[in-house]
Amino acid sequence: MWNFSAGPAQLPKTVLEQVHARLFNFQGCGCSILEMGHRTDEIRAVFATLEENLRTLLQIPRHFDLMFMQGGGRMQFAMVPMNFLQETGCAIYCVDGTWSKGAQERALRYGQIQTCSMGADPFARATAEHAYAYYCDNETIHGKRFACTPRKHGARGLVTDMSSNFLSRPIDWEEMGLVWAAAQKNFAPAGLTVGIVRRDWLNMAYSYTPTMMNYASYAYGHSMPNTPPVFQVYVAKLVTDWLLAEGGVERMDRRAKARSQLLYDVLDQYPDLYVHEVPRAFRSRMNVVFHLPNEELTQEFLSVARQNDLYYLEGHRSVGGIRASMYNAMPIEGARRLAFVMKEFAKKV
């Protein structure tokens, strides 16, 4: 079965096998990791290894702190302005899809928000009055991504939502203030959100910010201001072990390009059947989104796909159509199979 779900999504098979094999007895402790206290040496070591693995994979400079949080993406929509907006009371948001729009709408409650849209240089207007410049690196629903990291210009730094392409491309830390990602797509099961923050961006939160929404609580408290999601962190650690063994983030980037190209080639070959609206320069490598001319053909396509073992290809409920999500764990064979089925379908209808 090939799983094209947008999230929660496919995890590497070897990671699931390790979880399965070790579920009842974690490192000879005699009990499951699901039953262990988070302040034990074993669990602290899992957190520390995950942090070191991420530092290696993404070449995170030492003046950035890592934070393992809960609350998912939408909690970040509020945490970002609560923690960073006070400095100038104003920020700029690049709005180019559902998730950046959601973040911008939430931020409006906390200060003055200007907007811009995706393009070659979205933050060209950013000045020192902008406490940060916010964007979503990969819009999961619309299948759009930034081809390269935008420049922050006058803004103090970028805040980047990488929920659906975290660990699939290198990060330009020079521009960044905060990178955050909800884990459930490319990293771990739902329930974990990772944040990587410049240390000198901490301690600027509005005084009304709850402790559990203050980044400093996580950065200074080893991500344990309360009971953390130990199991999710453990799976994330296994995923990063796997990524290191597989050759790292650049390798993932190349694989993602190869996988998505197989599908984009078919879309370009049959543009009347597979309608695709994202400009070439912004095509996502994680989520290939298109639609067929009518609902009947869409349902027929999905049914043929299922007969060929290709599952969860339905587009997001807000836009319909088809979405093929292919994160790091998707082998190239999955993309090949889908491309083949798409071609065969196009020849028949």
Structure token pair of residue 142: 């619309």
Residue 99, interface with ligand PMP (CB under 6 A)? yes
- Please tell me which residue in 185, 201, 237, 242 is annotated as part of the active site: 185
Nearest residue to ligand PMP by CB is: 73
Residue 161, interface with ligand PMP (CB under 6 A)? yes
336/25 Cα distance (integer angstroms): 38
| CA neighbor of 333 nearest in space, from 297, 313, 308, 316 | 308
309 counts as catalytic: no
Classify the C-alpha dihedral 42-48-49-51 as positive or negative.
Answer: positive
Residue 325, interface with ligand PMP (CB under 6 A)? no
Choose the binding region for ligand PMP from 26-34, 159-167, 236-244, 329-337 (rule: CB under 6 A). Answer: 159-167
Residue 195, interface with ligand PMP (CB under 6 A)? no
Residue 8, interface with ligand PMP (CB under 6 A)? no
Residue 136, interface with ligand PMP (CB under 6 A)? yes
- Tell which positions 64-83 bind ligand PMP, by CB under 6 A: 72-74
**In angstroms, what is the minimal distance from the CB of 163 to ligand PMP?**
4
Residue 164, interface with ligand PMP (CB under 6 A)? yes
- Please tell me which residue in 65, 96, 137, 161 is annotated as part of the active site: 161
Are the C-beta atoms of 339 and 265 separated by less than 8 Å?
A: yes
96 counts as catalytic: no
3-state helix, strand, coil in the chain (%, to 5): 40, 15, 40
41 counts as catalytic: no
| CA neighbor of 159 nearest in space, from 117, 104, 105 | 104
- Please tell me which residue in 2, 65, 96, 99 is annotated as part of the active site: 99
**Helix, strand or coil, per DSSP, at residue 90:** strand
DSSP string for 225-286 = SS---HHHHHHHHHHHHHHHHHTHHHHHHHHHHHHHHHHHHHHHH-TTTSB--S-GGGB-SS
Q: Could you list the active site residues?
A: 99, 161, 185
Footprint of ligand PMP (CB under 6 A):
7, 72-74, 99, 136, 140, 161, 163-164, 182
